[in-house]
């Protein structure tokens, strides 16, 4: 009988010091893999199997040398803060598109698999809920800069899928739906928690009845790893929780858990004051494909995840 030895791989992770990048690198290292991490931020991971490069994804020479030496390229670097889609539109487009094009080209050249983090924003304002991976996309006008992120990510998706068809690129595209947990920065969940811990009002854009499906980071990382282990090829997956919460509910739960005296302030003009803003009412992932392929479904409740995040922020 053949020995069931663990297969060690070399992973190259861009955006390795980001919220998802850090959790992913730690999981890979825990599983005994070798990881090359690249980020413009300072390294926070100490491990003999982790080699860190404080640099930018615009350094194409460095990208080439690291892609050459790796088995799997995880391209996670990006800008995921909604406010920046409105204030730093060209930067969001440049960062999402230019290095991704180079990385795809290099993955084709050196025959490496690419794992790319795309977004639930791909579906835009579509009302065909839940969103199926092959479902339609419905975006607003280019006058609204908020769609720059969705459009840039979808362009990279197109390029990856096209190279999978004509150049045999091996890939997985993850469409992430509001992943949260310790280490998250610049999104609604950490914003509300920090406000609550500081007894400041929780400002909600619009009515607060817009919903999101919040996925705890451990569920997300479990899905990534199961997909990697099964060696699934050339697929796009929704990675999300199907349970919806209104933004108002999220605020109420955070107020309850933290015991804060903070109040909810509705219809704040935080994002609406930018002319490029339009909101998305609902974003719900369809789970059928991922359930069928890897038998994954999220197990952590929102309250459990929020308690962990609050504990991390107050330790
Ligand atoms: N968290 C989510 O819910 C979510 C949802 C949809 C998509 N995504 C995608 O997942 C990926 C990771 O998101 P995240 O939530 O961890 O965001 P994050 O902002 O925490 O991580 C992104 C990382 O990219 C790094 N980066 C930015 N510019 C860089 C550059 N020029 N060179 C090298 N590194 C650079 C940042 O320093 C940061 O560490 C992104 O591509 C994002 O678009 C995340």
DSSP-derived secondary structure letter, 32:
T
pLDDT above 60: residue 176: yes
Query: Is 227 part of any domain?
Result: yes
DSSP-derived secondary structure letter, 42:
P
Q: How far apart are CA 194 and CA 71, in angstroms?
A: 39
Secondary structure (3-state) at 139: coil
Q: How far apart are CA 268 and CA 92, in angstroms?
A: 25
Q: 16 alpha carbon to ligand 1 midpoint, in Å?
A: 8
Angle CA 231–236–242, to nearest 5: 110
Q: Which atom of ligand 1 is nearest to the CA of 21?
A: 16
Query: Is 257 part of any domain?
Result: no
Query: Is 246 part of any domain?
Result: no
Ligand 1 pocket test: pick from 13, 14, 15, 21 the residue with the most ligand atoms within 8 Å of its Cβ: 15
Handedness of CA 219, 225, 227, 230 (dihedral sign): negative
Which structural domain range is residue 232 located in? 78-179+215-241+282-299
What's the pLDDT score for residue 275?
A: 72
39 lines ligand 1 (CB under 6 A): yes
Q: How far apart are CA 24 and CA 227, in angstroms?
A: 13
- Summarize the chain as % helix, strand, coil (round to 5): 40, 20, 40
User: pLDDT, tens digit, for every residue of 228-240?
Assistant: 999 999 999 999 9
Q: At 93, which CATH number?
A: 3.40.50.720
User: pLDDT, tens digit, for every residue of 22-60?
Assistant: 999 999 999 999 999 999 999 999 999 999 999 999 999
Residue with CA nearest ligand 1 atom 9: 117
270 lines ligand 1 (CB under 6 A): no
Query: Is 263 part of any domain?
Result: no
Query: Is 148 part of any domain?
Result: yes
Ligand 1 pocket test: pick from 78, 122, 186 the residue with the most ligand atoms within 8 Å of its Cβ: 78
Query: Is 69 part of any domain?
Result: no
Confirm whether pTM is higher than 0.85: yes
For residues 174 and 237, the answer to whether their CB atoms sit within 8 Å is yes
Count up the domains in the chain and report the number. Answer: 1
Q: How far apart are CA 29 and CA 11, in angstroms?
A: 10
Tokens coding 187: 């999104």
Q: How far apart are CA 140 and CA 132, in angstroms?
A: 20
Sequence-distant (≥ 6) Cβ neighbours of residue 134 within 8 angstroms: none
User: pLDDT, tens digit, for every residue of 287-301?
Assistant: 999 999 999 999 999
């Amino acid at each position: 009988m053949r020995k069931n030895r663990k297969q060690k791989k070399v992973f190259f992770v861009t955006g390795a010091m980001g919220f998802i990048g850090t959790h992913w690198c730690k999981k890979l290292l825990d599983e005994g893999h070798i990881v090359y991490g690249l980020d413009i931020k300072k390294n926070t991971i100490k491990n003999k199997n982790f080699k860190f490069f404080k640099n930018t994804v615009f350094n194409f020479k460095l990208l080439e040398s690291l892609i050459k030496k790796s088995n799997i390229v995880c391209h996670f670097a990006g800008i995921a803060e909604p406010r920046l889609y409105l204030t730093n539109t060209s930067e969001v487009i440049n960062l999402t598109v230019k290095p991704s094009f180079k990385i795809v080209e290099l993955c084709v050249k050196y025959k490496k698999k690419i794992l790319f983090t795309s977004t639930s924003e791909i579906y835009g304002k579509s009302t065909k809920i839940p969103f199926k991976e092959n479902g339609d996309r419905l975006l607003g006008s280019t006058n609204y800069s908020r769609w720059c992120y969705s459009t840039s990510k979808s362009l990279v998706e197109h390029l990856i899928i096209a190279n999978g068809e004509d150049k045999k690129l091996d890939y997985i595209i993850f469409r992430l739906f509001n992943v949260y947990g310790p280490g998250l920065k610049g999104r609604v969940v950490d914003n509300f928690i920090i406000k609550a811990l500081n007894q400041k009002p929780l400002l909600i854009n619009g009515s607060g009845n817009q919903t999101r499906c919040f996925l705890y980071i451990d569920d997300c990382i479990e899905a990534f790893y199961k997909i990697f282990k099964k060696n699934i090829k050339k697929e796009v997956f929704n990675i999300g929780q199907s349970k919806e919460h209104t933004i108002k509910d999220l605020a109420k739960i955070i107020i309850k858990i933290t015991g804060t005296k903070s109040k909810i302030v509705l219809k704040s003009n935080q994002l609406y004051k930018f002319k490029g803003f339009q909101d998305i009412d609902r974003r719900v992932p369809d789970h059928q494909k991922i359930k069928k392929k890897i038998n994954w479904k999220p197990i952590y409740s929102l309250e459990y995840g929020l308690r962990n995040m609050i504990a991390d922020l107050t330790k």
